Structure 1
Amino acid sequence: MSNWADLTTGKRIKHLRGSDLTQQGLAEAAGLSLALVQKAEQDRGELSVGSLLKLTHALNTDVSVILGQQAPRRATSQDTRAALRRLSDAVHDSALGGWDGIEEPSTVAELAAAHERVCAAYWQGAYGELSELIAKVLLEGGARYGHTSGHERERLGSLLAGTYQFASSAAILLGQRDLALSALTSARRLAEDSGDAVLAALVESTLSWIYLRSAKVPRAIAVAERAALRIEPSFSKATNPQLLGYGRLMISAAVAASRNGDAASADDYLSQAHAAAARIGHDVAQYGTHFGPTAANTEAVGIAVALGNHGRALTLASRTQLPGSIPKLARNRYRLDVALAQCAVGLHDQAADTLIEVALDAPEWVKHQALPGVIGKRLAKVSTARVRNISELIGMPLIA
């Protein structure tokens, strides 16, 4: 695609509409005539402010994007843009107290069940469903939270904190850093108010991840270390939630240290994560996160890749068995690390097959990952034609 700012407004509208929405569909969604949409895409005449706002809403984007002041995120589909808009509205409206239209919010039990569905949707990469569920919990839970007290308030606070945390994680995956930080600010406040030390620590783990994705590696390490110290367990007496929270924070620190090229620190942190996983003895899922021997092993592969130890990464991978219970996103993030290691040691056919498996298993999620492009460029050095065939098969450009 040409430089976004150099395109005409009509071409920007056409690009945002994409192949999944017809001109008639856009006209109906915006409440405009088909003739007006056609004229807009052909740059015939000036759009009124009202028409521009209606098109913006129908395309689930911002006026600045249509006007060329801000480029859209690469490979973001119409459905994903709609999910992001719902996510943003839910996070900000709930934080600001936007309870309009909520006459009788769901019960705490119903909201708890919705939160469980939030967890499942996140780990499946189902962003449309996820954004709808997050909106339900945040808006209805927030409306109820202001009128409760005692145990019910604490329970609601924990549910809301966990849901804001998922909103933050989804936002950072979809490239929306500011939205992720906004959601996490609310999550942190509610987690601290709930008095749940493990939940508060896991919120900090998400913050560490945001800093890592923002290339603020020392801060990512510091946040994870500080939070881990607050809940550092006595391994002989620790509960599974404490071990899960501590182990996850040690993994956060290890991953960040590996991105900084600090192999010694990464190994130290990782050994603590392995110890916590061994103490639990099996994979567990609590607080909407997964931890145990599988997580420690798969993360060790990614850390070895980041440190350039590709042979070791593949050796570790050969010893790692993925149980059926591993979430889709965790499974495919691990596979991308394996594909990168395969590529680095010259196993190009295997790397290509692994990349195809990931893209077909999680087609929307993979579009928002950086590693497929890295792998594609390395494979292109061997066979550009093969990479173009892969791109066509998975519906995602890997090279320009």
Structure 2
Amino acid sequence: MPSDDDHPGSRISQQRKLAGYTQRGLAMKAGYSYSLVHQVESGHKAASPDFTAACARALRIDVAVLTGQPYMTELQQDRLAELIRPIRESLDLYDLGADPDVSTRETPRLVEAAATLCREVRATHLHKAARTLPHLITELTTAAHRKPSSELWAALGSTYRTAHDITIKLGFYDLSTIALDRMEWAAQRASDPVLSAVRQYMRGLVYHREGEHTIGLRLVDAGRQLLVQADETPESLAVAGQLHLGATVIAARARDEDVVRTRLAEAKQIADRVGEMGHVHWLSFGPTNCAAHEVSALTEMGRHGEAVAKAKEIHMPASWPASRRAHVWIDRGRSEMETGRNDAALVSITKARELAPQQTRYHPGARATIEGLVRRQRRTPDALGHISAWLGQ
């Protein structure tokens, strides 16, 4: 068992005491058993993402306070910490207009640069993407102000979405929220309701992480209302389907099985109509993503045996982005750990690491799973010890 006292359980204990709650009081307010609160705080059980979010909500603090994000030691080791300040500045200086010292490429090349940057993130090349991002935001902003066009504003909106993806994967949730605000700013100028709907989907998932399920579902439904302004196309249908999938996972964490069942069925109907679509504002909607979200929903609801069985049925195409494939392996690993399949769980997290090392290193689900495996072992196997050390645990 780890001797380090700096883990989510110890942070929950500290914040609980500061708020004046007993363990039983926190358990009642968070909706979990006293036994689980006691085991997590004492370090005998890992804090799952849903449990941590529930405690953060009960204590009225950001979930990052309990997870310890961002993981600065690991970010410094990966030379990612130094890239955050330029990203922060590029998000803050959005309203200065065209930069007189910046020369810009032609519109087609800028649009392709925005698409390339998004591909880098989906391939989880976070260091490369983070280094490129600030200048591309400046260049696109300058070009859009000099020669305004829907195409350029949409490309800028896509790039702000990429900024959200990078910052949220690295644990800088304050920046991820700002990036989504900037995304809407650009989407309005592009007159693109579909892009605005994607932004609402991503906002909903931010509140899902914080355990604010009602707000998350309202945001997702606001995205669906925005699509009323758009013509019905395969693109708008795919975004509508993705909004249903977002609602599925949010409702799952709230343990609302009726909403999970209804929204998942709606998404599957749309997926049957449009098939696999991997290039709709860089969403990977289709039957495979519906299956992946079903695994996530079952995991969130604590139906881990079903989640493992469903995960084994998914055949992820090689064309699927590494970020999505790794996420499925992380969900599978978490459910395998919870059902006592310790060796299988380690294999799943290892596969996620092989596919998307930087994403896996900073993923709360992967870290909670490995922490849980370590705490279950009387003697830590070498492979588990290595990945635990790599995660900084």
Whether 1:318 and 2:312 are equivalent positions in the alignment is yes
Q: 1:264 to 1:388 in 2, by over 3 A?
A: farther
Superposed displacement of residue 246, structure 1: 0.4
Q: Structure 1, residues 85-127: CA drift from partner, whole Å, max 9, x if none?
A: 232222223344472531x211111111111111111111212
Give 3-state SS (helix, strand or coil) of 1:290's partner: strand
* 2:35 paired residue number: none
* 1:364 paired residue number: 358
* 1:40 paired residue number: none
1:192 to 175, 188, 192: 188
Superposed displacement of residue 376, structure 1: 2.0
Q: Structure 1, residues 269-296: CA drift from partner, whole Å, max 9, x if none?
A: 1111111111112243221221111111
* 1:228 paired residue number: 224
Q: Gaps spanning 5+ residues in structure 2: where?
A: 7-68
Partners of 1:263 and 1:309 lie apart in 2 by 11
Partners of 1:341 and 1:72 lie apart in 2 by 24
Give 3-state SS (helix, strand or coil) of 2:290's partner: helix
Q: 1:381 to 1:2 in 2, by over 3 A?
A: closer
Q: 1:72 to 1:320 in 2, by over 3 A?
A: closer
Report matched runs for 1:64-79 at 5 Å.
Answer: 73=72, 75-78=74-77, 79=79
Partners of 1:340 and 1:197 lie apart in 2 by 36
Q: 1:259 to 1:313 in 2, by over 3 A?
A: same
* One-letter code aligned to 1:175: G
Q: Gaps spanning 5+ residues in structure 1: where?
A: 4-69
Q: Is the 8 A contact 1:198 1:231 kept in 2?
A: yes
* 1:296 paired residue number: 290
Whether 1:173 and 2:172 are equivalent positions in the alignment is no
* One-letter code aligned to 1:77: Q
Partners of 1:196 and 1:319 lie apart in 2 by 37
* 2:125 paired residue number: 126
2:343 to 333, 344, 349: 349
Give 3-state SS (helix, strand or coil) of 1:224's partner: helix
Superposed displacement of residue 311, structure 1: 1.9
Q: Is the 8 A contact 1:356 1:394 kept in 2?
A: no
* 2:61 paired residue number: none
1:373 to 367, 384, 390: 367
* 2:34 paired residue number: none
- Equivalent residues, number: 327
Q: Is the 8 A contact 2:70 2:171 kept in 1?
A: no
Q: Is the 8 A contact 1:122 1:170 kept in 2?
A: yes
Partners of 2:139 and 2:302 lie apart in 1 by 47
Whether 1:207 and 2:203 are equivalent positions in the alignment is yes
Q: 1:384 to 1:323 in 2, by over 3 A?
A: farther
2:390 to 385, 388, 396: 396
Give 3-state SS (helix, strand or coil) of 2:379's partner: helix
Partners of 2:240 and 2:293 lie apart in 1 by 15
* One-letter code aligned to 1:73: M
* 1:26 paired residue number: none
Report matched runs for 1:130-169 at 5 Å.
Answer: 130-149=129-148, 153-169=149-165
Q: Is the 8 A contact 2:374 2:384 kept in 1?
A: no
Partners of 1:203 and 1:185 lie apart in 2 by 8
* One-letter code aligned to 1:181: T
Report matched runs for 1:241-320 at 5 Å.
Answer: 241-320=235-314
* One-letter code aligned to 2:155: L
Partners of 1:136 and 1:390 lie apart in 2 by 40
Q: Is the 8 A contact 1:204 1:224 kept in 2?
A: yes
Partners of 1:260 and 1:233 lie apart in 2 by 30
Q: 1:248 to 1:145 in 2, by over 3 A?
A: same
Q: Structure 1, residues 53-88: CA drift from partner, whole Å, max 9, x if none?
A: xxxxxxxxxxxxxxxxx9963522352112322322
Give 3-state SS (helix, strand or coil) of 1:77's partner: helix
Q: 1:111 to 1:391 in 2, by over 3 A?
A: farther
* 1:81 paired residue number: 81
Partners of 1:184 and 1:282 lie apart in 2 by 26
Partners of 1:172 and 1:351 lie apart in 2 by 24
Give 3-state SS (helix, strand or coil) of 1:308's partner: coil
Q: 1:233 to 1:379 in 2, by over 3 A?
A: farther
Superposed displacement of residue 141, structure 1: 1.1
Q: Is the 8 A contact 1:117 1:133 kept in 2?
A: no
Partners of 1:105 and 1:132 lie apart in 2 by 18
Q: 1:336 to 1:186 in 2, by over 3 A?
A: same
Q: Is the 8 A contact 2:137 2:159 kept in 1?
A: yes
Q: Is the 8 A contact 2:278 2:284 kept in 1?
A: yes
Q: 1:355 to 1:384 in 2, by over 3 A?
A: farther
Partners of 1:95 and 1:395 lie apart in 2 by 43
Q: Is the 8 A contact 2:330 2:352 kept in 1?
A: yes
Partners of 1:100 and 1:212 lie apart in 2 by 41
Query: TM-score, normalised on structure 2?
Result: 0.77
Superposed displacement of residue 304, structure 1: 0.5
Q: 1:262 to 1:98 in 2, by over 3 A?
A: same
Superposed displacement of residue 213, structure 1: 2.1
